[in-house]
Amino acid sequence: MANAAEMHTPYSSLKKLLSLFNSLLACFLVLVIILVVEITAATVVLLFFPIVRDVALEHTFMTLRKNYRGYNEPDDYTTEWNFVMEKLKCCGVNNYTDFSGSSFEMTTGHAYPRGCCRSMGTSACDGHNASASVIHQEGCFRKLLRITKAQSFTLSGGSLGAAMMQLPGILATLLLFIKLG
């Protein structure tokens, strides 16, 4: 008598075929969903970048004027802005005049913070001398925008490239699905 493990029911081959069929369908659907998400993400980044830029500029400007405290009262927001201004060699959002009338100027009496100085230890950088030889005149937003734009276009390009690489896999899965169906 044959071993029970070796015995096949009349439907065992059909079960295996249906299992393969379902796996191919699931693989096809997952690949299509990933493809749609990649294309959508790339399109959203490319289409809405100008709108996001304008909203971000206004929000960043208003929060800088309201929340920047300076070196005497360092909080997370101020520390991050100091880091950005020192590393990118810039001052404020649009330029050094962003601090005029801000909470920073009201509390310190200075027209700009030390993070705007070209050289931190000089006596000329006293918070009042705003000449181009003493402080960075350009704002940080344009520099941050250049970095963000380069990164978002790289991300969009990579996403679209990955989508193109997935197309042959999707087509092969679809053809197998149709041929076996």
**Mean pLDDT in runs of 10 for the chain (181 residues)?**
58 64 76 84 80 90 90 84 93 93 90 89 86 92 89 80 82 78 61
For residue 4, the model assigns a pLDDT of: 55
Close Cβ partners of 98 (under 8 Å, ≥ 6 residues apart): 61, 64, 65, 91, 92, 139
**How many structural domains compose the chain?**
1
Q: Are 112 and 130 in contact (CB under 8 A)?
A: yes
**CATH number for the domain that contains residue 102:** 1.10.1450.10
Is position 3 within any domain? no
CA–CA gap between residue 57 and residue 79 (Å, rounded): 19
Identify whether 121 is part of a domain. yes
In a domain, 24, yes or no: no
pLDDT at 139 (0 to 100): 93
Task: Give me the domain span that covers residue 155.
Answer: 34-165
C-alpha 79/C-alpha 5 separation (Å) is: 70
Q: Is residue 10 part of a domain?
A: no
pLDDT digits (tens, 9 = 90+) for 74-111: 789 889 999 999 999 999 999 999 999 998 999 889 99
Per-residue confidence (pLDDT) for residue 120, from 0 to 100: 78
60, part of any domain: yes
* pLDDT value of position 87: 93
Residue 178 domain-assigned (yes or no) = no
Assess if residue 157 is contained within a domain. Answer: yes
124: in domain: yes
